[in-house]
Structure 1
Amino acid sequence: MIRSLRGRLFAGLTAIILLTGLAGGLFAHHWAFNEAIEMQDSVLIQIAGLVQSGSLTGGRELHGVDEDAEVWLIDQPAAPQAADDGLKQLWSLKDGLALATRKGQPIRVLLGTRLDGTRFAVAQRTSVRDEIASDMAFRTVLPIAALIPCLLLVTAIVIARSLRPMVRVADDLDGRRADDMTSLPVAQMPSELNPFIASINGLLQRVRLLMDQQRRFVADAAHELRTPITALSLQAENLDPVDLPVGARDRLSALRQGIRRTMHLLEQLLALARQDAGSPDEATMPVVALDRVAKEVVAEALPEAVNRSVDLGFARVEPVAVRGEAVMLAAVVRNLLDNALRFTPHGGRIDACVYRDGTTAILQIEDSGPGVSPDEIGRIFEPFFRGQRPEGDGVGLGLSIVRRIVNRLGGSIDAVNSAEAGRTGLRVLVKLPVSADRA
Structure 2
Amino acid sequence: MKSRKHSLRARLLIWLIVPTTIFGIVAGWATHLNARRTADLLQDAALLAAARVMAADVRWNDNDLVASVSPSTIQIVGTPEGDQVFYRIEIAGGAVIAGTSDFPRTRLSASPQWYDAQVAGSPIRAVSLKRAMFDNGKTIELVVSIGRTLVARDALVASLWTPQIAYILGSIAVAMILICTGLALELRPLEKLASGLAVHPLKSKERIDATGLPVELHPLVTAFNASLDVIERQTATQRRFIADAAHQIRTPLTLLGSQLQYARRQHGLDEVRETLTAMHQSNRAMVTLINQLLMLAQAEAADYTAYEGEAVDLRAVITLAVEKLALVARRRDIELAVAFEGALVVTGSEPLLSAVFSNLIDNAIRYSPRGTRVTVDAKETHVNVTVSVVDEGPGIPATLRERVFEPFFRASAEEGSGLGLAIAKEIVRAHGGVVAIHDAPGGVGAMVEVVLAREQEPRRPSARTPV
TM-score grouping bracket, smaller chain normalisation: 0.3 to 0.5
Higher-Rg member (1/2): 2
